Amino acid sequence: MQRISCPERDDWRTTAEACGFDFHTIDGERYWDERAYYAFTLEEIEEKIEAPTGEIDAMCLELVGRAVGDERYLKRLKIPEAFWPLIRESWRRDDASLYGRLDLGFDGQGTAKLLEYNADTPTSMFEAAVFQWTWLEQAIERAIIPNAADQYNSIHERLIEAWKKLGQGRHLHLAGATDNQEDAGTLAYLQDTATQAGLATTLIDIEEIGWRDGSGFVDLGYSDIALAFKLYPWEWMFQEQFGANLLMAPTRWIEPPWKAVLSNKGILPLLWEMFPNHPNLLPAYFEDDPGAQELGTSFVRKPLYSREGANVSLISEGVAFAQAHGPYGGEGFVRQALASLRPFDGQHPVLGSWLVDHTPCGLSIREDEGPITGNNSRFIPHAIL
């Protein structure tokens, strides 16, 4: 694994905006950054990232199967009891999942380590599936990268195939925060792939989802919402006014309710408990577990629920040397061992390993000068050399 500096395409901004990638720069700061790329060998991709991703996903599914049958797990994950039947029923029906993104720590040495699983509302999908592919093709044409370069990326076509399976002739609604530029971009891309799969689609803001007694969730035209993709987390929906309606509604959600088990950093200690010393896991404990003492005075402290690194702290010998602020942590924290990863030119990369329909199929990389990946961390393309 290498980080290789390279020239930018002089028209990359125009290229980005022409395909709807409006959020390439956020608040004046680079988000998309092609002044460098990460290079991997094919062996690294296949053996160190792709295969472990499939294995971790399988372990996670085993965890869900155990959790839905044992309320101790759901209690430890702080999932409200009112929604346990919703989660259990969606698992029993085998409600389909579209996608997820594992965040892995890997520096080319040793094995990739699971840092967390974005199982419910992963973003950076358009950049991963489309724009970094466009970069690869154009960078080869312009001799920025070697002619034989490849990329671990079959996300786009797998999304279309997955939508064909998921659609089953139903109309798809896509809902989220449409006034957030990044989320709107992700929704637009997923709508595009669903349309290419032959689904009729409607985009709706999450706040515009309506409820009609005797019918269920409806859109602004009063049409029933039978199949809904949401870029909006389960843990928020559970505590909102329509949360109680979820159990009454016939709507099938993507991602399905059982994914609420996995979109929770509590899975880190639970996986460690189920699969101790697995090569792709880091030791992890709930903060109130006496076993957390095993980590000593150096660890990463993460809230059960958070996103984009918010409220994560890195502690070394009892002193927090990196901390991200935010509104999360009310449900409690986990502690995970510090992964000893080397920086690359002063940058700390985190590998986002994508699954579509439970198939590992692509890689996205975010890097930051600091050790916590946050909302402003840059997206860097990759190539296989």
Q: How many CB atoms lie within 10 A of CB 374?
A: 16
Contact flag: residue 214 with other proteins (CB under 8 A): yes
Of 153, 280, 311, 313, the one binding other proteins by CB under 8 A: 153
Nearer to other proteins, 6 or 385 (CB): 385
Nearer to other proteins, 68 or 259 (CB): 259
In whole angstroms, give the CA distance from residue 352 to residue 362.
Answer: 8
What is the Rg, in whole angstroms, of the alpha carbon atoms belonging to the chain? 21
In whole angstroms, give the CA distance from residue 238 to residue 20.
Answer: 32
Count of alpha carbons within 13 angstroms of residue 43, beta-carbon side? 3
Letters for 80-119 (x = contact with other proteins by CB under 8 A, - = none) are: --------------------------------------x-
Residue type, 167: G
Nearer to other proteins, 233 or 291 (CB): 233
Nearer to other proteins, 245 or 323 (CB): 245
Percentages (nearest 5) of helix, strand, coil residues in the chain: 35, 25, 40
Q: Are 233 and 263 in contact (CB under 8 A)?
A: yes
Of 54, 108, 167, 210, the one binding other proteins by CB under 8 A: 210
Q: At what angle do helices 155-167 and 181-196 cross, to 10 degrees?
A: 70
Contact flag: residue 208 with other proteins (CB under 8 A): yes
- Site residues for other proteins, 165-204, by CB under 8 A, read 175-183, 186, 188-189, 191-192, 195-196, 201-204
Record the tokens describing residue 67, joined without a space: 């959790």
Contact flag: residue 376 with other proteins (CB under 8 A): yes
Q: Are 99 and 57 in contact (CB under 8 A)?
A: no
Nearer to other proteins, 36 or 160 (CB): 160
Dihedral in degrees, nearest 10, Cα atoms 107, 109, 114, 117: 40
- Nearest distance from residue 171's CB to other proteins, in Å? 13
Binding segment for other proteins (CB under 8 A), chosen from 267-275, 288-296, 307-315, 341-349, is 307-315
Contact flag: residue 302 with other proteins (CB under 8 A): no
Of 136, 284, 334, 351, the one binding other proteins by CB under 8 A: 136
Binding segment for other proteins (CB under 8 A), chosen from 72-80, 104-112, 225-233, 312-320, is 225-233
Contact flag: residue 313 with other proteins (CB under 8 A): no
Nearer to other proteins, 184 or 292 (CB): 184
Residue type, 169: G
Contact flag: residue 260 with other proteins (CB under 8 A): no
Contact flag: residue 374 with other proteins (CB under 8 A): yes
DSSP string across 113-175 = EEEEEE-SS---HHIIIIIHHHHHHHHHHTTSS-TT-B-SB-HHHHHHHHHHHHHTTPPEEEE
Nearer to other proteins, 36 or 246 (CB): 246
# residues contacting other proteins (CB under 8 A): 77
CA 334 distance to own-chain centroid: 19
In the sheet that 299-303 helps form, which strands lie side by side, from edge to edge? Answer: 284-286, 333-336, 299-303, 313-316, 319-323
CA angle (52 as vertex; 50, 54 as ends), nearest 5: 75
- Site residues for other proteins, 67-86, by CB under 8 A, read none
Of 25, 30, 42, 294, the one binding other proteins by CB under 8 A: 42
